[in-house]
Amino acid sequence: MNVSIDAAYKSLNKIKEELCGDKVELLKTNDSNIMILADGMGSGVKANILATLTSKILGTMFLNGASIDDCIETIAKTLPVCQVRQVAYSTFSILQVFQNGQVYLAEFDNPACIMIRQGKILSLPFTERVLENKVIRECRFQAELNDCFILLSDGVIHAGVGNLLNFGWNWQHVAEYALSAARETLSASRLANILVKACDDLYLQLPGDDTTVAVLRVTAARKIDLFTGPPYSPEDDGRLIKEFIGSQGKKIICGGTSANIASRILKRCLVTSLNYTDPSLPPIASMEGIDLVTEGVLTLSRALDLIKQYKEGTVDEHFFEELDKNNGGSMVARYIIEDCSILNLFVGKAMNEAHQNPSLPFNLSIRLHLVEQLKEAVTAIGKEVNIHYY
């Protein structure tokens, strides 16, 4: 399977707590992706320490090929014992998806993983065994393209207890809500955000427990080809366009001169939109066979700002409202964040006199600086970036 993994999570802290008692680790090995959700007993600092220790121990051991038996034994002997309850307690879920599509899932006392396949909730083939006096549920099976896995802490199924709902938002309700949201093939981060927002609303914005949703989606590898800036030598215009069009991804052109080069060589009309949705950005344009045509530096700067915001984890419904706007910057960012696993940048090195002093070397130009920042930010959110200079 030539698959790409899209994974993200979102947490709410219990009311009046500065630290979250849930912890998520997203890890990559040579042949797999691992997502671990640990939920420490209680809340606040103590719960945060228990969850952090558990997720780090599990993550480090799994990365080094340890078995679940070794991991559980290590956790049982490592976690500090609570003086009041006389137990050292952190629940956890471990999801490992291998590149060949094999899935391993292990759970201890967390709500069961919600798995969505082909628009339905799939019942997982769990077996149970006892390790170090802990009942571990585990299963192995083969993933398929577009499978979606959702790990939950118990704050999710307790949402609304005693307020809006007598007995909380039970697992079945959460699964059905997730299923209806996931039908729109949302990115992992958007789906996690929708589910946590629903929990926050049920808690009336006063969460009674740490609440975490972690989502992992198995998708086909998706490529975006982005062309910006004319080549240093006009003789390379044809070669750049041939290589850009010959690549297998969705096509984006950023820059008026770049769009005119493509229009001339491909003999396709360039039609500029008259719809100014954002007065601070030039409007987008359209061209046959190109998914998006925008202005250059201003648009890329706006897209970069949104990608950096996403990287820093400051993602809420307001962020997605901005991402869904009908301007060039938001649209470029949305393609890269939600519809891309490999970004190919086709970058011309010609100088634009409007951007800088043409006597300065190219590596001081605004566009190159933007491209380098874009590569850094997009790599940081887990995507592969390739740059071709002309």
* pLDDT tens digit sequence for 373-382: 999 999 999 8
Read off the pLDDT band of 363 (50, 70, 90): very low
For the chain, where do the domains classified as CATH 3.60.40.10 start and end? 3-220
Predicted local confidence at residue 158, as pLDDT: 87
222-230 average pLDDT score: 94
Distance CA 49, CA 386 (A): 39
Residue type, 389: Y
Cβ atoms within 10 Å of 141's Cβ, excluding its own: 15
> What Å distances lie between residue 142 and 120, 214, 341, 367, CA to CA?
16, 20, 22, 44
Predicted local confidence at residue 359, as pLDDT: 55
118-127, 145-154, 363-372: the lowest-pLDDT one = 363-372
Predicted local confidence at residue 68, as pLDDT: 85
Say if residue 122's pLDDT is above 50: yes
Tokens 């086909």 sit at which residue?
220
Distance CA 352, CA 296 (A): 11
Q: Are 206 and 162 in contact (CB under 8 A)?
A: no
The residue among 216, 174, 210 whose CA lies nearest residue 195 is 174
Predicted local confidence at residue 377, as pLDDT: 96
Predicted local confidence at residue 364, as pLDDT: 47
Per residue in 53-74, pLDDT (tens digit) is 999 999 999 888 888 889 888 8
Predicted local confidence at residue 168, as pLDDT: 62
Architecture of domain 3-220: 4-Layer Sandwich (3.60)
Q: Average pLDDT over the chain, rounded to whole?
A: 88
Q: What is the largest CA-CA distance in the chain?
A: 77
Per residue in 297-328, pLDDT (tens digit) is 899 999 999 999 999 877 888 999 999 999 99
Predicted local confidence at residue 197, as pLDDT: 93
Structure-derived torsion over alpha carbons of residues 320, 321, 323, 325, reported in degrees to the nearest 10: 160
Residue type, 36: I
Per residue in 13-25, pLDDT (tens digit) is 999 999 999 999 9
Which tokens is 265 given?
Answer: 């060589």
Tokens 């008692």 sit at which residue?
21
Per residue in 159-194, pLDDT (tens digit) is 877 665 555 678 999 999 999 999 876 789 999 999
Q: Are 229 and 255 in contact (CB under 8 A)?
A: yes
Q: Across-strand partners of 137?
A: 107, 128
Predicted local confidence at residue 146, as pLDDT: 92
Predicted local confidence at residue 1, as pLDDT: 62
Residue 211 phi, psi (nearest 5): -130, 120
Q: Are 255 and 295 in contact (CB under 8 A)?
A: yes
- The fraction of the chain above a pLDDT of 90, given in percent, is 63
Residue type, 89: Y
Predicted local confidence at residue 159, as pLDDT: 85
DSSP 198: H
The residue among 115, 116, 113 whose CA lies nearest residue 183 is 116
Say if residue 212's pLDDT is above 50: yes
Which tokens is 213 given?
Answer: 């949703």
Say if residue 388's pLDDT is above 90: yes
Predicted local confidence at residue 220, as pLDDT: 87
Which tokens is 112 given?
Answer: 């069961």
Say if residue 387's pLDDT is above 90: yes
Distance CA 20, CA 43 (A): 7
> What Å distances lie between residue 371 and 116, 236, 387, CA to CA?
37, 20, 9
Say if residue 372's pLDDT is above 50: yes
Per residue in 236-284, pLDDT (tens digit) is 999 999 999 999 999 999 999 999 999 999 999 999 887 777 888 889 9
Residue 75 phi, psi (nearest 5): -65, -45
The residue among 29, 39, 32 whose CA lies nearest residue 9 is 39
pTM of the predicted model, to two decimals?
0.89
Predicted local confidence at residue 163, as pLDDT: 62
The secondary structure of 34-103 as a DSSP string is EEEEEEESSSHHHHHHHHHHHHHHHHHHHHTT--HHHHHHHHHHHSPPPTTTS---EEEEEEEEETTSEE
42-46, 200-204, 274-278, 314-318: the lowest-pLDDT one = 274-278
Residue 151 phi, psi (nearest 5): -95, 140
233: CB partners within 8 A, 6+ apart: none
Strand order in the sheet with 384-389: 270-272, 285-287, 290-294, 250-254, 223-228, 342-347, 384-389
